[in-house]
Amino acid sequence: MTSVKFFKHSFLLFLLFASAGCVTPSMDVSGAINTYREVQPCCTTFQQVSFEKLPRNEGRSFTLAATDPAFLFRDGGLSYFRAFEIPESAKDSEVILRSYIFGIKNNPGNMAVIYPDMEFLDRDKRPIEGIKVDYTYLLSSLTDEPNSSHRFQLTAIVPHQDNLRYVIVHAASDQLGVTKLLPGNQSELTVPIGRGFVPVGGNARGTMYRATGSPVGPADSLRIKVRQAGD
C-alpha cells in the first residue's frame, strides 16, 4: 500500500513539474500588428543588410521584433526579418527552423504563432530559386523539447554549392492577423499555412485551438539550426 501511495504522489509531482515546464509566454498580438502596419522597409536590397554567422550543429534561439529591420519581400509582403550566414561545408547542409506557439495577452486560451518563411541567397546576397522547404507541425513531446510548446518546423536541404551562403528568416506576410484552427492533441489534420497545406498525420479527434499569425513573437519563439544533411 505504501508503494502505491508513493507511486501516486510521485506521478502527481511529475505532472506538476511537467505542466510547469510548459508555461507558454504571451504577448499583445493586436498591438504588434498595429505597430507593424506603420513600419517602413529598411532597405531595397540585401546587400545593405548585416548577417549573423550561424555555427554548425548549434541551435540559435531568437525572435522577430519591432526592433528588427523590415523588408518588402518578393511575394509583395512586408516583414521584419533576421539574416544569417550559413557555415561553409563540403557536403549538403540541412537548415531547420522551428516556430513555437505562444499565448495572446489578455485573451486566455487563444494562441498565436509566427508563420515563418526562409529565403536563401548567394554569395552576392541575391535570391536563389529552387530550394525546397518542407513544412511540418509538431505537437509537444516528452522526447523532443518536452518543455516547449507545439511548433511549426521548416526544413530545407541546402545543396553544397559555393555560391549559396545566406538565409533570411521572416514572417509569411499573407498570414499576418489570419486565425486558423490548429490541432491540440490530435495526430492528423491538414493545416493551411503560408503557401501550402501541412499534413500532420493521425485522426480528427482531440482538442482544437486557434492560432493567429503574428509579425513578431516573445523571446526565443524561433530557433534555427544548421547541420550536415543526414546527421
Strand 222-228 and strand 60-62: pairing?
antiparallel
Place of cell 492577423: 177
pLDDT confidence of residue 120: 93
**What is the distance between the alpha carbons of residues 42 and 95, in angstroms, rounded to a whole number?**
26
Residue 27 CA to its chain's centroid (Å): 16
pLDDT confidence of residue 201: 39
pLDDT confidence of residue 19: 35
**What is the distance between the alpha carbons of residues 146 and 61, in angstroms, rounded to a whole number?**
16
pLDDT confidence of residue 207: 56
pLDDT confidence of residue 162: 63
CB 78 within 8 A of CB 35: no
Indicate the residue type of 191: V
| Half-sphere exposure of residue 177: CA atoms within 13 angstroms, side-chain side | 11
pLDDT < 50 stretches in the chain: 1-23, 185-206
Q: How far is CA 54 from CA 78, 130, 137, 146, in A?
A: 24, 22, 24, 24
pLDDT confidence of residue 1: 46
Cell readout for 162 is 559555393
pLDDT confidence of residue 96: 93
- The radius of gyration computed from the CA coordinates of the chain, to the nearest angstrom, equals 19
pLDDT confidence of residue 195: 38
CB 200 within 8 A of CB 134: no
Place of cell 500588428: 33
